[in-house]
Amino acid sequence: MENDSMLNLAKLKIVTKRRGKIMKKMILLVIAAMFSLNTMALSCHGTEPFWGAEITKDLVSLDFIGEGIKEIPITEVHEAAGFVSGFVTTFSSGGKPVAVTTSNKCNNSMSDHIFPKEVIIFLGETVLYGCCGEGVIPE
């Protein structure tokens, strides 16, 4: 009888631990959704060549350092089906993708910082890869 009680207690601890991990993931996804691009600009950057971008639901402003700013109007924004808002987002102009952001950790290879989003920007024959959001130094 005592072994059954200990087994049930062990099972309860495992279930509680799993639920705790699931709740943490759900909370992080909700926080990511709160920072949806509907209300703010997403700051992105990349290296080789050095560039910066501000992405909103209406515009991608791309700045190649020393070459000026190129603005691309956004006509469509699509979220990936089956995922929380903001996890994968495509920004298009005239039916062609301009930028795709994903909520994956990103490192720009120039610092120890880890950024919360990746971005791929399509600019004619040029494809740029970079990171977005506020970077943090991992512990």
| pLDDT of 2 | 55
Please state, in angstroms and rounded to a whole number, the distance separating the CA atoms of residues 120 and 136.
Answer: 21
| pLDDT of 40 | 75
What does the pLDDT look like over 106-135, one tens digit per residue? 998 888 899 999 999 999 899 999 999 988
- Between the CA of residue 124 and those of 78, 107, 127, what are the distances in Å? 20, 25, 8
Domain borders along the chain are: 35-132
Handedness of CA 78, 53, 97, 110 (dihedral sign): negative
What does the pLDDT look like over 80-93, one tens digit per residue? 999 888 899 999 99
pLDDT of residue 35 exceeding 90: no
